[in-house]
Chains A and B, each alone.
Chain A
Amino acid sequence: MTKWLEENTPKLVLAPSFIAVLIFVYGFIAWTAWVSFTRSRLLPRYDIEGFIQYDRLFASPRWDTALNNLFVFGFLFIVIAMVLGLVLAILLDQNIRTEGAIRTVYLYPMALSMIVTGTAWKWILNPGLGIQAMVRGWGFEDFTFDWLVNPDMAIYTIVIAAIWQSSGFVMALFLAGLRSVDGEIIKAAQVDGIPTWRIYTAIIIPSMAPIFLSAFIVLSHLAIKSFDLVIALTGGGPGYATDLPATYMYAMAFSRGDIGQAASSAMIMMMVVFAIVVPYLYSELRSKDD
Chain B
Amino acid sequence: MKSVFFGAVSATALIASAVHAEPQAEVLHWWTSGGEAKSVAVLQEEFASKGGQWTDMPVAGGGGDAAMTALRARVLSGNAPTAVQLKGPAIQEWYEEGVLADISPVAEAQGWADVLPASIAGHMKCEGTWCAAPVNVHRVDWIWANADVLEANGIEMPSTWDEFNAAAEKLQAAGIIPLAHGGQAWQDATVFEAVALGILGADGFRKAFVDLDMDTLKSDEMKAVFDQMRTMRGYVDDNFSGRDWNLATAMVMNGEAAFQIMGDWAKGEFMAAGKAPGEDFLCASVPGDGFLYNVDSFAMFDVDGDDKKAGQELLAELIVGQNFQKVFNLNKGSIPARIDVSLEEFDSCAHLSAKDMGESSDNGSLLPSYAHGMALRGAQSGAITDVVTAHFNSDMSSDEAVNMLADAVANSM
Chain A residues at the B interface, C-beta cutoff of 8 Å: 41-43, 56, 59-62, 122, 126-128, 146, 148-149, 151, 234-241, 251, 254-258, 261
* B residues less than 8 Å from A56 (CB atoms): 411-412
Return the contact of B393 from the options A42, A151, A257 (Cβ within 8 A).
Answer: A151
State whether B389 touches A257 (Cβ < 8 A).
no
A43 touching B75 by the CB < 8 A rule? Answer: yes
Closest Cβ of chain B: how far from A187's Cβ, in Å? 55
Q: Which of A43, A61, A237, A257 contacts B242 (CB 8 A)?
A: A237
| In the assembled complex, B54 has its CB within 8 A of some CB on chain A | no
Interface positions of B from 220 to 248, Cβ below 8 Å from A = 237-242
Contact between A255 and B62, CB atoms less than 8 A apart? yes
Q: Is the CB of A238 within 8 A of B241?
A: yes
Cβ contact within 8 Å between A240 and B239 = no
A-contact bits for B3-44, CB 8 A (1 contact / 0 none)? 000000000000000000000000000000000000000000
List B107-163 residues whose CB lies under 8 Å from chain A. none
B359 to chain A, nearest CB (A): 34
B residues near A239, Cβ cutoff 8 Å: 185, 188, 389-394
User: Which residues from A are CB-within-8-Å of B184?
Assistant: 235, 237
- Whether A240 contacts B390 by the Cβ 8 Å rule is yes
Q: Does B269 contact A (CB under 8 A)?
A: no
- Fill in one digit per residue for B68-82: 1 if any A CB lies within 8 Å of its CB, else 0: 110010011000000
Q: How far is the CB of B97 from chain A (nearest CB, A)?
A: 5
Q: Is the CB of A256 within 8 A of B379?
A: yes
In angstroms, how far is the closest chain A Cβ from the Cβ of B257?
13
Using known A-B contacts A43-B76, A240-B185, A257-B93, determine if residue A60 contacts B411 with beta carbons closer than 8 Å.
yes
A-B contacts, 11 of them at CB < 8 A, read: A42-B90, A61-B390, A61-B404, A234-B241, A237-B183, A237-B185, A239-B188, A240-B389, A240-B390, A256-B378, A258-B378
State whether the Cβ of B377 lies closer than 8 Å to any Cβ in chain A: yes
In the A-B complex, the 9 residue pairs with the closest CB atoms: A239-B393, A128-B239, A256-B378, A238-B393, A149-B241, A257-B378, A256-B382, A239-B389, A239-B390
Residues of B contacting A257 in the complex (Cβ-Cβ under 8 angstroms): 68, 90, 93, 377-379
B265 touches A (CB below 8 Å): no
The smallest C-beta distance from B185 to any residue of chain A, in angstroms, reads: 7
Say if the beta carbon of B307 comes within 8 Å of chain A.
Answer: no
Which residue in chain A gives the minimum CB-CB distance to B413? A56
Q: Mark B242-274, 1 if CB is under 8 A from A, else 0.
A: 100000000000000000000000000000000
Chain A: minimal CB distance from B56 (Å): 23
| Residues on A with beta carbons closer than 8 Å to the beta carbon of B200 | none
The distance in angstroms between the C-alpha atoms of A61 and B401, with both chains bound, is 12
Minimal Cβ-Cβ distance residue in A for B94:
A42
Instruction: Tell whether B65 is near chain A: CB-to-CB under 8 Å.
Output: yes
Return the contact of A255 from the options B97, B382, B411 (Cβ within 8 A). B382
- Which of B93, B408, B412 interacts with A42 by CB under 8 Å? B93
B386 near A: Cβ within 8 Å?
A: yes
Chain A residue numbers with a CB within 8 Å of B69 are: 254
- B46 on the A face (CB < 8 A): no
Greatest chain A CB density within 10 A among B183, B238, B241, B404 is at B241
Contact partner of B240 among A43, A149, A240, A254, CB < 8 A?
Answer: A149
